[in-house]
A and B are shown apart, each in its own frame.
Chain A
């Protein structure tokens, strides 16, 4: 009943746009593939299109409201991890299903989520990265003396990645340069006697850059039957790890 009344004031065109926007935000924020597909179909069903289909890979979303309608496509160029946005889109889609929101309100809120910046300022992220690096150094059985240089080095490494990502459009260049910087700083800190084990410092410091989560997500996508998503995420993770490994390897071969 409700769905037909919803259907009458919003056309299929608007609903396709709404679902694509939700899917786009989720995919750019690093949600799992199956979650994106699930959210989009649920939203479409809540707005009166129970037969909606979507096909999601890390680079593209395809969506159609029914078998006879043309398919709409959206290309995704960049992906980050932004759990806040995933959570908010999830919330909007749930409220839409529970009829607490109309399509127009959902559209407005999704637009706001899409425009929202990272909730934490950059300096706080750098501090967080520094803390992460130092803590991982200790967790990987480094001593507290190794954690001391790891603190500023991982902060600097992360700052370099964020800055270079804005500066240069070439992928993996930022990771390569940052890991080179990390390796160099770790080497000199050991040479100056501030740290003890270069290996432990480096491994702690690269943790904020390393695509561990991406690898796990890739395997998870593969297990869920999203073969294309899984393989492309795996390739992405492999290249990132390769860039980091090359950066560190270059330092090691220099000295």
Chain B
């Protein structure tokens, strides 16, 4: 559990280095990634993977909005760091590998799963944006 905490933090922060995020945003990126991954792990035990990803993304999005407001940087910097562990890159690769290995049944299964997961992430980000807008309007 603690190992997962540490690795998800480092993975998200290091990925942001590859994406050339500003240095002062790296810790927040790692933090967003860590929260997203921990939430995902907790939710995944009880619910479907797609729902777990969706829930984790919404929270990551809300945290990113909060960070973006307090550090005066665009939301995308933090949300990218946050969703990196959730993004179905591994699944997309798995799907392609199955296709290459001529195992089309599993390939399609993985590909559909990857598509659903990225849909869940996109929907989660949009929902968190909507929530952020509602919150902003209320506070003004």
Contact = CB atoms under 8 A, between A and B. Distances in A.
Q: Do A and B bind each other?
A: yes
A241 B95 contact: yes
Interface stretch (A52-60, A66-74, A135-143): A135-143
Contacts of B42: none
B96 A139 contact: no
Given A128-B15, A219-B118, A120 B20 contact: yes
A138 B4 CA distance: 7
Contacts of B15: 128, 132, 208
B31 to A, nearest CB: 15
A151 B84 CA distance: 18
- Give the interface centre of B99, B115, B122, B126 by most chain A CB atoms within 10 Å: B122
B76 A211 contact: no
Interface string B80-121: 100111011110111111011100000000000011001101
B123 interface: yes
A51 B100 CA distance: 50
B10 interface: yes
A219 B17 CA distance: 24
A192 interface: no
Interface stretch (A8-16, A80-88, A99-107, A163-171): A80-88
Contacts, number: 158
B16 interface: yes
Contacts of B17: 120, 124-125, 128
Contacts of B97: 245, 248-249, 252
Nearest to A250: B100
Given A84-B21, A208-B18, A212-B87, A220 B92 contact: no
Nearest to A85: B20
- Give the interface centre of B7, B37, B92, B100 by most chain A CB atoms within 10 Å: B92
Given A82-B19, A87-B77, A244-B93, A212 B10 contact: no
Nearest to B100: A249
Given A86-B74, A219-B118, A241 B80 contact: no
B122 A220 contact: yes
A206 interface: yes
Contacts of B27: none
Interface in B11-67: 11, 14-23, 25, 37
A216 interface: yes
A79 to B, nearest CB: 12
B93 A210 contact: yes
Given A203-B93, A207-B89, A208-B15, A216 B121 contact: yes
Contacts of A139: 4, 7-8, 11, 37, 85
A44 interface: no
A246 interface: yes
Given A31-B76, A128-B14, A210-B89, A216 B122 contact: yes
B101 A252 contact: yes
24 contacts: A32-B76, A81-B18, A81-B20, A83-B16, A83-B20, A87-B77, A119-B20, A135-B10, A138-B3, A139-B4, A206-B89, A210-B90, A210-B93, A212-B90, A213-B80, A215-B89, A216-B121, A220-B122, A220-B125, A220-B126, A242-B96, A246-B100, A248-B93, A250-B100
